[in-house]
């Protein structure tokens, strides 16, 4: 399976000529949809979900289907036969990829700010994209997509989360608001040799880079 990063929080997975897109938000380039017949959306925030880009992708590809939570689906004016509502614990097949949904809520930004629904996705029992939450799957994870920066995150929580999930590797995502100094700083904390070691290899991908 090949994983490619498309900007901030979006990644694509490709295997055997099948392509899956996860969280193509407003910061995602349009070419992320090229050749994809399935899209997964974790939650409604603009950096993970763009109704305009999804509508254009659906119009351009009649085979494209979307899986997301009820909150996103209700706000997205589209063909309900092509937009599937899923929630925590649901399993489904998206363009040949076996997917299980985990979690219900976005991480807390502040007690005064209402939380929005958020669902993470475990793909083929191997790659876990949590959206904006630190959900712990109840099965082993090979590749953990690690949201390294956001208004809700702390390095301490990220380190503890990686230690609890115990993936074989972690790949940084959700870094679109960081400059090169911030990317390097967080990489030093989140790798296996950091001052509070996670014990897990950490990879940072540039936009368009694959792993």
Give all domains of the chain, ordered by start, each with its CATH number: 2-204 (3.60.15.10)
> What pLDDT, on a 0 to 100 scale, did the predictor assign at position 104?
96
> What pLDDT, on a 0 to 100 scale, did the predictor assign at position 49?
94
Q: pLDDT by residue (tens digit) across 115-137?
A: 999 999 999 999 999 999 999 99
**pLDDT lower than 50: segments of the chain:** none
Q: Give the residue from 128, 118, 136, 148 showing the smallest Cα distance to 13.
A: 128
Q: Both tokens of residue 22?
A: 């996860």
- Residues 52 and 29: their CA atoms lie apart, in Å, by 12
- Residue holding tokens 């991908």? 205
> What pLDDT, on a 0 to 100 scale, did the predictor assign at position 77?
74
> What pLDDT, on a 0 to 100 scale, did the predictor assign at position 75?
83
Cross-sheet strand order for the sheet of 143-147: 91-94, 97-102, 120-123, 127-129, 143-147, 169-173, 202-204
Q: Where are the beta strands (DSSP E) in the chain?
A: 2-6, 10-15, 18-22, 38-41, 65-68, 83-85, 91-94, 97-102, 120-123, 127-129, 143-147, 169-173, 202-204
Burial 143-152 (b: 16+ CB within 10 A, else e): bbbbbbbbeb
Quick check: helix, strand or coil at residue 19?
strand
Are 92 and 99 a contacting pair, CB within 8 Å? Answer: yes
């Amino acid at each position: 399976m090949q994983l490619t990063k498309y900007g901030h929080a979006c990644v694509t997975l490709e295997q055997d000529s099948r392509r899956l897109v996860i969280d193509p938000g407003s910061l995602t380039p349009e070419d992320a949809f090229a050749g994809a017949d399935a899209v997964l959306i974790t939650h409604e925030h603009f950096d993970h979900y763009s109704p305009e880009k999804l509508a254009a992708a659906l119009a351009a590809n009649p085979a494209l289907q979307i899986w997301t939570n009820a909150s996103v689906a209700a706000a997205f004016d589209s063909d309900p036969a092509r937009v599937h509502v899923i929630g925590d614990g649901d399993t489904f097949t998206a363009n040949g990829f076996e997917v299980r949904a985990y979690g219900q809520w976005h991480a807390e930004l502040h007690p005064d700010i209402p939380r929005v629904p958020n669902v993470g996705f475990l793909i083929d029992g191997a790659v876990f994209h949590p959206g904006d939450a630190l959900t712990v799957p109840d099965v082993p994870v090979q590749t953990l997509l690690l949201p390294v920066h956001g208004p809700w995150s702390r390095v301490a929580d990220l380190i503890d989360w990686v230690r609890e999930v115990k993936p074989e590797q972690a790949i940084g995502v959700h870094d679109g608001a960081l400059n090169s100094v911030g990317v390097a700083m967080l990489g030093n904390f989140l790798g296996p040799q950091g001052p509070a070691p996670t014990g897990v290899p950490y990879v940072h991908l540039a936009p368009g880079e694959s792993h």
